[in-house]
Amino acid sequence: MNERKDEVRAMRNVALGSVLALALTFPAAAQQLRLPAPSPGAKVSQEVGVTDISIEYSSPAVKGRKVWGELVPMDQMWRSGANAATKVIFSKDVTFGGKPVPAGTYALVTLPSAKGWTVALSKELGLWTGKQYDAKDDVVRVSATTAAVPHRERLAYIFSDTTDDGTRLDLEWEKLRISVPVKVDTRAQALASIQGATGGTWRVHANAARYLSETQKDHDAALKQADTAVALNPNWYTQWTRAEILARKGQYAEARKSAQAAWDLGQKEQNFFFKDQVSKALADWKVK
């Protein structure tokens, strides 16, 4: 009988221990609670030519407050967002507001003023998380343009008017836009990439040939790349690339030979996506 009581008591202790263990997990679960941040983190990026530009920031809301001159004091350096410093990352060298900036990561700091806005890029990334702003850490300081915009509740960074050679970095919040132009030397960067691709695959040389011919109008350099692509792999695409470049140089007889080679090879391929263009070229180049 005593043994039976001991067994019942042991089972009760095990059950009680399980309940206590389950109860102890509740505080841990509560630590996983996630609520909306007052100023949520954000990131926006833009490819400009062969340069990647991105902005990392926290996005505060207006919430009915007076922003300019109160929430954001005038004539004082501002983190251009909330929480930690706003960061801008350039994968290659750029010109920011007309001034050269090496590739790298910088804190973006603004100086609001009734006389005009100033934007600085600081090499000190720990601003507002233990480090105070110091102008000696600035890489550049540039003037920004401002414009009135429709109400934007949350601060946002936007890339506008993007081309192969530049973009415009906009900060919009409340009813104000602050803008700085960013320029890149895409041509020099692309040519350097082409030079570094010597010994690459046929596709690398074919793409380089198209860029040089279509964008840079350097048909002689393009033809060298196309000849290399054909030598590495005389498929319909490399032959057609070569044909187009020869036609741009006015060498239609030679261009037609390459176009015919592209046509013959393309008939054996399921993905002959320039078929119509090749067919038209063969007809047009007969009389040139």
* 112-147 pLDDT tens trace: 999 999 999 999 999 998 899 999 999 999 999 999
Q: Are residues 178 and 236 in the same domain?
A: no
* Predicted local confidence at residue 218, as pLDDT: 96
Q: Are residues 45 and 167 in the same domain?
A: yes
Inter-residue contact 165 to 48 (CB < 8 Å): yes
Q: Are residues 92 and 163 in the same domain?
A: yes
Q: Are residues 53 and 113 in the same domain?
A: yes
Phi-psi region at 200: left, alpha or beta (left = phi > 0; alpha = psi -120 to 50): beta
Domain that holds residue 129: 41-183
Q: Are residues 218 and 131 in the same domain?
A: no
Average pLDDT over all residues of the chain: 90
* Predicted local confidence at residue 286, as pLDDT: 80
Q: Are residues 177 and 45 in the same domain?
A: yes
* Claim: this prediction has a pTM higher than 0.85: no
Q: Which of 183, 210, 238 is the last residue of a domain?
A: 183
* Predicted local confidence at residue 23, as pLDDT: 46
Q: Which of 148, 183, 218 is the last residue of a domain?
A: 183
Structure tokens belonging to residue 131? 């480090």
Q: Are residues 68 and 171 in the same domain?
A: yes
Domain assignment present for 12: no
Tally Cβ neighbours within 10 Å of residue 82: 18
Q: Which of the residue ranges 29-33, 40-44, 115-119 would you say has the lowest mean pLDDT?
A: 29-33
Q: Are residues 172 and 204 in the same domain?
A: no
Total number of domains in the chain:
2
Domain assignment present for 179: yes
Confidence of residue 12 (pLDDT cuts 50, 70, 90): low
